[in-house]
Amino acid sequence: MAAISIPSHMKAWTYSEYGKSKEVLKFNQSVALPEVKEDQVLIKVAAASLNPIDHKRMEGYFKNSDSPLPTAPGYDVAGVVVKVGSEVKKFKVGDEVYGDINVKALEYPKVIGSLAEYTAAEERLLAHKPQNLSFAEAASLPLTLETAYEGLERTGFSAGKSILVLGGAGGVGTHVIQLAKHVYGASKVAATASTRKLELLRNLGADWPIDYTKENFEDLSEKFDVVYDTVGQTEQAFKVLKEGGKVVTIVPPGFHPAILFILSTDGAILEKLNPYFESGKLKPILDPKSPFPFSQTVEAFAHLETNRATGKIVVYPIP
């Protein structure tokens, strides 16, 4: 295989101060490529997806544990390996990969994220891209898919249990519904969303879509084994919980005794779930406005910040 030519500098979206994306995010024509450590690969980025944590980080919500500025944002990536560190065993140059490039979401994320032409990530954070998914589809998955899976694992979810998903049409919620129904074998999946998104919930596998604009889930007579809160309604969730059931949330501060967690990224989760995507049991859900071209990354952030996206917002192609 011919050697791949790797430049010393690249194009990337960066910010040098904290603030709103439309004010601080700038297109930078000449950013140095990240150094590739022994356990890392260098990825030629094809697509990236945005997560709420991207704009919260940009606005300085966890500046005390952030990496130094300037930085290129972006956690989720899909692309092609162009260089491997000396300790890398799983991947070779030319492999198509995807993953969330940050080990812990709130602790020193990488200075060069996925909204750049190249990014580096540890081998253990990445997985081989499912062959039937496009780069844009694969980039939509890692952080939210892993979060959905880890939350279900933490509740001990298993076949025959019932679940209520609060925020069923969002990035995490769309995966919780599908995993609960098609991987774990839930007996009943209920989920909340606004009126126009109820059909999507049904298509994902929800048995009972609940229109939160017309009814309050906490008034339901039915009780659930698990409530998965993706929107910050943890306290109310206990009103519809069976005795001995569990509430899990990804929205701080949580509410005791709910399980609150922040994802620790692991490419092994993606590898484990790849066959479900390749068989069509699980599907990536991209927001109807996606993909946004690389040049419209600021517009992509503006859409993210409305909190009205369906599924995931993807930036593609990245040159």
- The residue ranges of every structural domain in the chain are 7-128+285-313, 143-258
pLDDT in tens, 107-153: 999 999 999 999 999 999 999 999 999 999 999 999 999 999 999 99
Distance CA 231, CA 220 (A): 18
Q: Cα–Cα distances in Å, from 317 out to 78, 106, 256?
A: 11, 27, 43
CATH architecture, range 143-258 = 3-Layer(aba) Sandwich (3.40)
Q: Check whether 270 has a pLDDT greater than 60.
A: yes
Interval 276-290 mean pLDDT: 97
Q: Sorting pLDDT into bands at 50, 70 and 90, what band is 319?
A: confident
Distance CA 118, CA 11 (A): 9
Report the Cα 28 to chain-centroid distance in Å: 25
Q: Check whether 2 has a pLDDT greater than 60.
A: no
Mean pLDDT, the chain, rounded, equals 97
pLDDT given for residue 184 in this prediction: 98
Q: Check whether 1 has a pLDDT greater than 70.
A: no
pTM of the model: 0.97
| Closest C-alpha among 118, 102, 120, 115 to residue 62 | 102
Q: Check whether 3 has a pLDDT greater than 70.
A: no
Distance CA 237, CA 192 (A): 12
The percent of residues above 90 in pLDDT, for the chain, comes to 98
CATH number, domain 7-128+285-313: 3.90.180.10
Report the Cα 266 to chain-centroid distance in Å: 12
Q: Check whether 283 has a pLDDT greater than 60.
A: yes
